[in-house]
């Protein structure tokens, strides 16, 4: 009875973890198996014939898988850099400076927090279409260049920065720009790290917006590329399909395993995904 109470939680958690991890295991296993073995439906981890090279090269050859990854990197880092460049000064001004319209701006930002991208997609799409800018990197990044969430978060974090230090820095002849970027931001590095993770993961995994503005395969970020690939293969070659899924999922999973704490802090910072 005592043993039961001791091991019961582990058994329950273990069963749950099996279900949670089965898709990852099956994905990886299928990606290194030969087509003949896929039909055998066995969970045995070692394939009789090792077909990883075939599957992965097919995934990279059938569609420009590496191009998708490069597109994802360009778009995600482009978005993140502009988000930080626009949000940090705004948050600093809101937290530490007095200017007319400050209250109004803060209210607008909090209101904007509740508006999901799916609600803005239609007018933004029409605007980009009229400007002949569909199928560009800019179109993929445009709605995310301002993160109201970043402003909100940095504003909260900057507020706790001591005013005395800012005053002293002003006396010493620091410009406001230097105070903002070199002093105040440095005091909020954990927030910056968590926000960066949040932003990168959200945009790496986003399908909705790229699906709207990109039809050119060469510009597709990983999720859209995966969708194209799944349509091309349409279930004919599961080995290659799973190899593609592994390639796309791997970067985030590896980063998560390496920096678990930062990742969890970043992703759970908000429920808005």
Partner 1 sequence: MFFVFPAVLLLLAIYIIPMIVLAAFSVTDYQLGALSTSFIGLENFRKAFADPVFMRALLNTVIYAVIVIPVGVFLALGIALLVYNRKRSRAFWEIAYFLPVTATLVAMATVFQFLLHPSLGPVNAAITWFGFEPVGFLSNPSLLIPTMAIIGIWQVLGFNMVLFLAGLTAISKDLHEAVRIDGAKNPVDRFLTVTWPMLGPTTMFVVVTTSISAFKVFETVAVLTKGRSGSEVLLYALYLEGFEYSNTGYAASLTLIFLAIVLILSIGQTLHMDRKVHY
Near partner 1 in 67-96, by CB under 8 A: 85-87, 89-90, 92-94
Binding mask 166-185 for partner 1 (x = CB under 8 A): ----------x---x-----
Q: What are phi and psi of 267, to 5 degrees?
A: -75, -35
**210 vs 230: CA distance, rounded Å:** 16
- 4 is a contact residue toward partner 1 (CB under 8 A): no
Answer for which of 59, 79, 166, 212 binds partner 1 (CB under 8 A) is 212
Answer for which of 7, 15, 22, 178 binds partner 1 (CB under 8 A) is 22
206: exposed, middle or buried (Cβ count in 10 Å: 0-12, 13-18, 19+)? buried
Task: Give the range of 56-64, 115-123, 160-168, 181-189 binding partner 1 by CB under 8 A.
Answer: 115-123
Answer for which of 24, 81, 107, 218 binds partner 1 (CB under 8 A) is 24
Task: Give the range of 47-55, 73-81, 103-111, 167-175 binding partner 1 by CB under 8 A.
Answer: 103-111
Per residue in 73-93, is it b (16+ CB within 10 Å) or e — as a string? Answer: eebbebbbebbbeebbbbbbb
Answer for which of 77, 174, 181, 256 binds partner 1 (CB under 8 A) is 256
**182 vs 100: CA distance, rounded Å:** 25
- 118 is a contact residue toward partner 1 (CB under 8 A): yes
Count the Cβ atoms, other than its own, within 10 Å of residue 159: 12
Nearest alpha carbon to residue 166 among 97, 84, 88:
97
Task: Give the range of 21-29, 45-53, 59-67, 162-170 binding partner 1 by CB under 8 A.
Answer: 21-29
Footprint of partner 1 on residues 227-246 (CB under 8 A)? 227, 230, 235, 238, 241-242, 244-246
Answer for which of 43, 46, 236, 258 binds partner 1 (CB under 8 A) is 43
Answer for which of 143, 169, 217, 232 binds partner 1 (CB under 8 A) is 143
- 264 is a contact residue toward partner 1 (CB under 8 A): yes
Shortest Cβ distance from residue 124 to partner 1 (Å)? 6
Nearest alpha carbon to residue 148 among 65, 217, 91:
91
- 128 is a contact residue toward partner 1 (CB under 8 A): no
Answer for which of 188, 204, 214, 220 binds partner 1 (CB under 8 A) is 204
């Amino acid at each position: 009875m005592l043993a039961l109470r001791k091991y019961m939680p582990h058994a329950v958690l273990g069963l749950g973890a099996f279900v949670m991890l089965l898709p990852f295991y099956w994905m990886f296993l299928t990606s290194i198996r030969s087509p003949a073995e896929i039909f055998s439906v066995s969970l045995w981890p070692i394939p009789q014939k090792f077909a990883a090279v075939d599957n992965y090269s097919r995934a990279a050859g059938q569609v420009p898988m590496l191009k998708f990854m490069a597109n994802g990197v360009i778009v995600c880092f482009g978005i993140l850099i502009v988000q930080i460049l626009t949000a940090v000064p705004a948050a600093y001004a809101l937290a530490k400076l007095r200017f007319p319209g400050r209250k109004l701006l803060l209210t607008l930002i909090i209101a904007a927090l509740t508006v999901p991208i799916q609600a803005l997609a239609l007018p933004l799409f029409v605007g980009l279409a009229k400007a002949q800018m569909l199928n560009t990197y800019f179109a993929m990044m445009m709605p995310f260049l301002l993160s109201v969430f970043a402003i909100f978060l940095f504003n909260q974090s900057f507020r706790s920065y001591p005013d005395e230090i800012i005053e002293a820095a002003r006396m010493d002849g620091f410009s406001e720009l230097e105070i903002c970027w070199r002093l105040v931001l440095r005091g909020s590095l954990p927030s910056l790290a968590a926000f960066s993770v949040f932003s990168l993961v959200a945009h790496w995994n986003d399908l909705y917006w790229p699906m709207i503005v990109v039809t050119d395969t060469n510009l597709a970020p990983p999720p859209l590329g995966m969708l194209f690939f799944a349509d091309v293969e349409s279930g004919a070659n599961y080995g290659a399909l799973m190899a593609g899924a592994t390639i796309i999922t791997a970067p985030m999973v590896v980063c998560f395993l390496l920096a678990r704490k930062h990742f969890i802090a970043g992703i759970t910072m908000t429920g808005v995904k």
